[in-house]
Amino acid sequence: MSDPAAPVQPAPGQSRYGALAAALQRRIVAGEWPPGTALPAETTLAGEHGVALGTLRQALQLLADQGLIERRHGRGTYVRSGLAGAPMLRFFRFGSGAETPASRILSRQTVPAPAEAARRLGIGRGEPVLRLQRLRSLGGTPCLLEDIWLPLPLFEALAEGDVAPWGDLLYPLFAERCGVHVTRAVDEIGFGRLGAAQARSLKLQAGHPCAVVTRQAYDLAGRCVELRTSRGDANAFHYTVTIT
């Protein structure tokens, strides 16, 4: 086995700091520095990999830009702890934005991945996935209906057992039960109309306009580990962006 802290050897056409960033990422993914822990001092890392401090700092900046680490002024560099939930409710006006919605798993199935889910998860079509349908409510009123696709065997620990103790946030559960730390997510926004079953779950009329938020969530290794589609009342949708 190669030494994870060996001097970096860039591939043809690869920058030295890019090769170093990849080496540091491998050490993080391997668990040498768990989420939330500090990396060694910059001088230590530079010495271990035989690079100049400037090269190391470029590599760390690349990892920070990718969302893998965070640099805390005066305190050092830390592996990101992961997202707690990256709330979907920021797209909707449903009461207080500070309130965490209650969540209930409506169904759980192990199924072959359909083409679109397989493409987004980066797996083969027909490979097994865990499909969850989840309803999220505020003050007892349904607000979001979610379809969630999780690749197997990565999430095998969630395929069996009682779902009642899962709690209202999935990402802490992913970390605790499956060792999967979600470090970033990409949300796409679209619009559509609710089917009859979807409308019943949200206590709306069939055909009611809905906002559709499609999320791909990624782990420390950059793998897509979750595909989620959330639907909510389009009349409650809002989107704010600050441009500077």
CATH number at residue 213: 3.40.1410.10
Q: Residue 221: what pLDDT?
A: 84
Could you list the beta-strand ranges (E) of the chain.
69-72, 76-79, 102-112, 128-138, 141-151, 182-193, 209-219, 224-233
Q: What confidence category does residue 88 fall into, taking pLDDT thresholds of 50, 70 and 90?
A: confident
Token pair, residue 137, equals 């409510």
Going by C-alpha positions, the residue among 194, 216, 190 that lies closest to residue 116 is 216
Residue 244 included in any domain: no
Looking at residue 1, what is its pLDDT? 44
- Using a 10 angstrom Cβ sphere, with 0-12 exposed, 13-18 middle and 19 or more buried, the burial of residue 85 is middle
Q: Which of 35-44, 63-72, 86-95 has the highest mean pLDDT?
A: 35-44
Percentage of the chain with pLDDT > 70? Answer: 95
The whole-number pLDDT of residue 206 equals 97
Query: Are residues 154 and 68 part of one domain?
Result: no
83, 97 Cβ separation under 8 angstroms = no
For the ranges 4-13, 86-95, 226-235, the one whose mean pLDDT is highest: 226-235
When computed from its CA atoms, the radius of gyration of the chain, rounded to whole angstroms, is: 21
Q: Is 27 in the same domain as 117?
A: no
pLDDT-based confidence at 69, cuts 50/70/90?
Answer: confident
Q: Report the C-alpha gap between 139 and 102 in whole angstroms.
A: 8
- 154 φψ region: left (φ > 0), alpha (ψ -120 to 50), beta (else): alpha
Length in residues, the chain = 244
Distance of CA 30 to CAs 19, 34, 128, 150, 192, Å?
17, 9, 25, 21, 41
For CA atoms 230, 235, 237, 241, the dihedral sign is positive
User: Domain check: are 46 and 104 in the same one?
Assistant: no
Query: What CA–CA distance (Å, rounded) separates 105 from 139?
Result: 17
Residue 97 confidence (pLDDT): 55
Q: Which domain holds residue 56?
A: 16-79
Report the alpha-carbon distance of residue 244 to residue 239 in Å, rounded.
17
The last residue of one of the domains, among 43, 59, 79, is 79
Mean pLDDT of 147-168: 95
Q: How confident is the model at residue 109 (pLDDT cuts 50, 70, 90)?
A: very high
Reported as a pLDDT band with limits 50, 70 and 90, residue 163 is: very high
pTM of the predicted model as reported, rounded to 2 decimal places: 0.80
Report which of 10, 93, 91 is spatially closest to residue 50, judged by C-alpha positions: 10
DSSP code of residue 157: G
pLDDT band at 66 (very low <50, low <70, confident <90, very high): confident
For the segment 78-100, the average pLDDT, to the nearest whole number, is 73
Q: Is residue 5 part of a domain?
A: no
User: Considering the domain boundaries, does residue 6 fall inside one?
Assistant: no
Classify residue 20 as left (phi > 0), alpha (psi -120 to 50) or beta.
alpha
> For residue 126, which phi and psi values (nearest 5 degrees)?
90, -10
Total count of domains within the chain:
2
Higher pLDDT, 58 or 94: 58
Q: Where among 45, 79, 113 does a domain terminate?
A: 79
